[in-house]
Structure 1
């Protein structure tokens, strides 16, 4: 026997379904991890671990001398030009960077083969932030090789790379899943080194 559903019951079900869909979309950065962490209000720094086991702090940089930029990118601290900020928090899978003069930098969506962008918040809010990111407890295959939780994007922790820019090889950027077409974003695919991006802070007990 087919259950009978009244119109009023259907109206009650639809908002609940929509609400679940909205929540799923807003938490898409951690959807692929049963133990993923989408909120971390304790300021942390980001680091890259290279194949030779060296590490480099990651910062938000402009790649030029423009200190009034409205968009910046995640780069190794010594290879990105002027730095605008180097501490972050996670808000509902959105990565928020802190800059000088209390500036707020909101993570943008990152594209395959492209760099890691942030946009300056004009009003200090997190409106329009991309909720693609997740803090993931450090487990296999990294284990004790990396002293800290990993940063994931779109459900992935293994596709980060550091690549040289094509216009100036002294500059490097963090690239997600680099490919030949990364040159369209201004990066030399042949120079890319796979890295693991991880978090460090006093609260995590692994501050440098």
Structure 2
């Protein structure tokens, strides 16, 4: 075996030992974990990484109170429902400013899938849909944002920010499809490809 091959093998072995993988699940590939404690989410444009938008849950123009909320840019949301999240067994729970649980993740469609959350009534317990995963960057050179949100088996490459066709909110949509975008409730011409990064909240 060549010295280069030995070096690469050693690096891969070290990464696998150092990786935070707790257990494999259907929603997580080898470089992911189904659990992450208190975090916020940040969208970063793929075309221009200097364009960064904190994400939050908003009502997409529905009357308040609503039974659902959608992930969008905090700056475009009139009334923010939640900005802090916890990932457990692939399901995300959202927490309000007072620390109370206010939302649980819904399943995400494989095309034109909005990242939506059910907002249960107070005292009602509903399990979140277990479709999410936190991926970690394995580059030996490091990364500015080492943790990325993924879903439906570990896909982190197909998120877009798009303007809703029913409000001024810019929402996160998974796997946008131009032909059916109008029916899906967003304006295709406003969509930009983004990565959604997981940022740990320090106490």
Aligned to 2:149: 151
Once the two structures are TM-superposed, the CA of residue 70 in structure 1 deviates from its matched residue by 1.0
1:50-199 equivalences under 5 Å are 50=45, 51-53=47-49, 54-64=51-61, 66-100=63-97, 102-111=100-109, 112-122=111-121, 123-127=123-127, 129-139=128-138, 144=143, 146-154=144-152, 155-168=154-167, 170-180=168-178, 181-199=180-198
Q: TM-score, normalised by structure 1?
A: 0.75
- Off by >4 Å, runs of 4+ in structure 1: none
Pick the structure with more strand per residue. Answer: 2
Once the two structures are TM-superposed, the CA of residue 73 in structure 1 deviates from its matched residue by 0.2
Aligned to 1:6: none
Structure number with bigger Rg: 1
Aligned to 2:44: 49
Structure 1: 5+ residue stretches without partners: 1-22
Q: C-alpha distance in 2, partners of 1:150/1:116?
A: 15
Q: C-alpha distance in 2, partners of 1:65/1:35?
A: 37
Q: TM-score, normalised by structure 2?
A: 0.77
Tell me the alpha carbon deviations over residues 20-42 of structure 1, each in whole angstroms, 9 at most, x when there is no partner: xxx98xx3321xx11211012x2
CA RMSD of aligned residues (A): 2.3
Once the two structures are TM-superposed, the CA of residue 65 in structure 1 deviates from its matched residue by 6.6
Aligned to 1:35: 31
Q: C-alpha distance in 1, partners of 2:97/2:150?
A: 26
Once the two structures are TM-superposed, the CA of residue 87 in structure 1 deviates from its matched residue by 0.3
Instruction: Say if 1:167 and 1:70 are closer, same or farther in 2 by CA, change over 3 A.
Output: closer
Q: C-alpha distance in 1, partners of 2:54/2:124?
A: 25
